[in-house]
């Protein structure tokens, strides 16, 4: 597999903001990739550069081998972007909107794929409805359909499930997963980090315009978060020798730091020696949200 998106030394300066600071990043063809960061980290600026809506101040950007400036038409044809904002023309129906979008890419006989999009995104019964009459969730579905109408090999989803209901979220991800299995590359930005953890093979984290973490999702979870031991005590106080491990306690439920699984038997031996019985015990690993917060706070005073 080749490289779907290649960024080399990408800079973006605005009059008062240095939004991107030398971004180097490769996203492989067929990857489901997450780009995460707090508000103002540079995610939307980077997507705008990919889409050709903003020109980088320095560096190079390629989509499927096409430079976004020198080979704009090929790069744009290779990309489908679902924007965060709801942008639509109120004077066209859903089907007319998708046909018009097809025309931008020279696709005059695209009704079969449009029908498939309508079915998979739950828009069939809204096909002849004016977009201005749709709910916010339905407008979001139309945006997704517009981004996919030319079957781009690279799909960018900028907060695609912001403010949408559970049903849409599930149906959208089912369809996007299918496209990813079929070979489409997916780049996702989201504030719902459980989505990124579940869907994405690799994650890049941006902070103040810099990539501060880049790895496979499971590696970030393993290296960036502490393992915890969750105990439910059947009476008694936690022995003093275990207090340095204590993370939190609520009633009989205590959470202990457990960086090494080899320490588990020692902890249980201490509890047995003190005559403290357990009602329940489990191991817990911090999720991607906790890892993200830890990385974002590193280096802060």
- Structural domain boundaries, residue 249: 226-285
Q: Are residues 86 and 231 in the same domain?
A: no
Q: Are residues 37 and 133 in the same domain?
A: yes
**How much is the pLDDT for 301?**
44
**How much is the pLDDT for 224?**
59
End position of a domain, from candidates 184, 205, 222: 222
Q: Is position 292 within any domain? A: no
Give the separation between CA 172 and CA 121, rounded to whole angstroms.
7
> Are 286 and 225 spatial neighbours (Cβ–Cβ below 8 Å)?
yes
Q: How many domains does the chain have?
A: 2
**How much is the pLDDT for 189?**
93
Residues of the chain falling short of pLDDT 50: 301
Nearest by Cα to 84 from 4, 188, 174: 188
Q: Is position 298 within any domain? A: no
Whichever domain contains 274, its CATH number is: 3.30.70
> Are 289 and 193 spatial neighbours (Cβ–Cβ below 8 Å)?
yes
**pTM (predicted TM-score):** 0.81
Q: Are residues 153 and 140 in the same domain?
A: yes
Q: Is position 290 within any domain? A: no
Q: Is position 38 within any domain? A: yes
Nearest by Cα to 48 from 61, 33, 64, 34: 61
Whichever domain contains 13, its CATH number is: 3.40.50.300
Nearest by Cα to 67 from 5, 25, 23: 5
End position of a domain, from candidates 188, 222, 256: 222
How remote is the C-alpha of 266 from its chain's centroid? 39
End position of a domain, from candidates 206, 222, 238: 222
The token pair that represents 139 in the structure block = 């407008």
Q: Are residues 157 and 267 in the same domain?
A: no
């Amino acid at each position: 597999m080749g490289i779907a998106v290649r960024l080399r030394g990408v800079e973006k300066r605005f009059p008062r903001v240095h939004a991107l600071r030398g971004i180097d990043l490769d996203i492989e063809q067929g990857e489901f990739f997450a780009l995460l960061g707090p508000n103002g980290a540079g995610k939307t600026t980077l997507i705008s550069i990919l889409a050709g809506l903003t020109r980088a101040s320095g560096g190079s950007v390629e989509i499927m081998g096409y430079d976004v400036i020198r080979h704009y038409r090929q790069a744009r044809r290779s990309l489908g972007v679902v924007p965060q904002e709801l942008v639509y023309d109120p004077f066209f129906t859903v089907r007319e909107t998708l046909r018009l979008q097809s025309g931008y890419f020279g696709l005059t006989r695209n009704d079969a794929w449009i029908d498939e999009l309508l079915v998979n995104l739950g828009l069939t019964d809204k096909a002849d409805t004016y977009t201005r009459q749709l709910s916010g969730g339905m407008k979001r579905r139309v945006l997704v359909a517009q981004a996919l109408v030319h079957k781009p090999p690279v799909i960018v989803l900028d907060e695609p499930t912001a403010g949408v209901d559970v049903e849409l979220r599930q149906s959208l991800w089912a369809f996007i997963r299918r496209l990813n299995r079929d070979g489409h590359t997916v780049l996702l930005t989201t504030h719902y980090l459980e989505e990124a953890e579940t869907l994405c093979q690799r994650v890049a984290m941006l902070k103040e315009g810099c990539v501060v973490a880049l790895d496979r999702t499971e590696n970030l979870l393993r290296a960036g978060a502490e393992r915890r031991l969750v105990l439910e005590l059947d009476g008694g106080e936690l022995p003093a020798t275990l207090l340095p491990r204590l993370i939190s306690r609520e009633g009989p439920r205590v959470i202990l730091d457990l960086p090494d699984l080899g320490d588990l038997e020692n902890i249980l031996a201490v509890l047995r020696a003190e005559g403290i019985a357990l009602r329940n015990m489990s191991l817990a690993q911090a999720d991607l949200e906790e890892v993200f917060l830890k990385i974002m706070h590193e280096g802060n005073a």
